[in-house]
Structure 1
Amino acid sequence: MYFIQHIESITHQDSFQKDNIWNELKPLEAENALISPDYKNYIPAAALRRLSTILRMGIAASKACQEKVPNEFDAISVGTALGCLTDTEKFLVTINTVSGDVLSPTAFIQSTHNTISGQISLDLKNHAYNMTHTQNALSFEVALKDGLLCVDEGKNSVLVGAADEAIPFLERLRESLIQTALPFTTGATFLVVSGEKGNSTAAIEACEVYFAAENPKELVNQFLAANPCSLDSIDLILEAGSDFKSAAKNHVSFTDYSGFYQSASAFAVHMANDWLLQNSTGKRVLIINNLESNKLGLTLIRSNEVEA
């Protein structure tokens, strides 16, 4: 069992440093905005000016998690599908418009996917295991599996997170590469997992990814049978869509509240944790990440208050 010691999210919901976000969730309208905390509480002003939104979110969320747990992180695992898009765009525009052969390296350095986990490590002065995972819509689940393996290896306090950001250019890809009717959004979720129960509300029972999911319903049934449970014993399904709505006791499309960013399933973990906190009779929550066709991420969350 992998216990969630603390979890933080910065999203288009009022989700940062809240005791329970479930009752505060509101379906996103077409026009919405990222709700950002006061980053000056977490990042020095001189550094704040140089950091893009995605880096600010990652640092603030990870520092907020570190404040809530007694031990320093002995592993950091971050998932991101598209990385630091703002700095990537800035770097490419600079190459295309600036004449001469001398370019500032800052935008390039900050444009790489592993900048997020690296910047977190620098700000926390943490020299432990540090890894970035980029597998499109399954980036968070792969990062989570890595974090759970770290717990299996004996690491006691593992930071797992995911972050992605939206930029206006994505609208030009809506019909060709990113086919969705959801609004493009920005979000970051970070959680601390441990093998010790502590004061945690919920635990991660299992996580699995499928990169060629031709029959998702069969894979879901196989995943649950291996744990062991069934759809009938799942109290809530959080899904990026409605494929499993008819089979659920309770069903919520988490993208209605997160909008579209490829690692939004990390926010679904926050939703699941707080739903279990609120519903004392709830036993298990299944997160089905079918945000992209032929890709499937499954995460099973269990309440600590109910015996298996």
Structure 2
Amino acid sequence: MDITGMIKDAAKRYGMDMCGVAGVDRFDESPPGRHPTDILPGCKSVVVVGVRLLDGIVQANFRTFENGRQDLKGLYGTYGYTMLPNFELTYACYAVAQFIERETGEAATPLSTGPMTNGAQISIRHAAVAAGLGEFGWLSIVLTPEFGPRNRFGVILTTAGLAPDPLYGGPRLCNPEVCHICTDVCPTKAIGAYGSEDFRTCGLGTYGKVSFPRCQVPTQGLRRAFGGAEDYVTTDDPVGRDIAEANARQPIMERGLQHHESWHCGMCLSYCPAGRWKEHFLDRALTGGAGAVAK
């Protein structure tokens, strides 16, 4: 087995569900300061690992949305968003980087994962597409054939020259011309409507433009309707200043590892029909009600 295959086997041993490799040439469109060589001089390969989200944790999100079970929302925060997937990715990225350095003598730099860490050094979602693990969905999240958007990813940069994987070339995973579920279920209409000018295009694909301030209102619980203590945001079309003022008013959270909660939504991720959604959820009676839109 060659070194690339050995690295992929190691990633699986460390608990990852997928692993792909991209050559550094696929990052030519990276913005200034966000190219892999800006972090690791001489970087030749970008290794991307991914872990699926538990069906049972996505199911807890359905119970929140469909039955008003706000007491279950923290399960998604712990096991589907801020904590465990990112701990698992952090440990796996470190272990894979150690494996690369021990086996090849080349440098390997694991990058930060998740919202509880100190920023993103490169775009992890673009790296996942560049490594052939999936394609962009209109909701701007990376879709994989098996799990749709219900994945989390981590990145390791290395100066080792590894065999790159081809870009995803399987069946189309998102067709926004006929499916509008992500835009329909978004509670603040943060995802740009297909057919409008709200889209982004890069060499790796086209996807919908997401209004981050609008997205923050439900994810951070900035209104009572989304689990917040009060209506910290009152406008339907907030800008960055509105969110900053809301965060200043919101008390610092003493539970968990974040200053502010950020897992109150995930509706687009939960209801996206990609990744055999019907088989994973509807056929197993894990959801109903609003979930019926995702047939």
TM-score range, shorter chain: under 0.3
Normalised to the residue count of structure 1, the TM-score between the two structures is 0.26
More strand by share: 1
Q: Which has the higher contact order (CA 8 A, sep 6+)?
A: 1
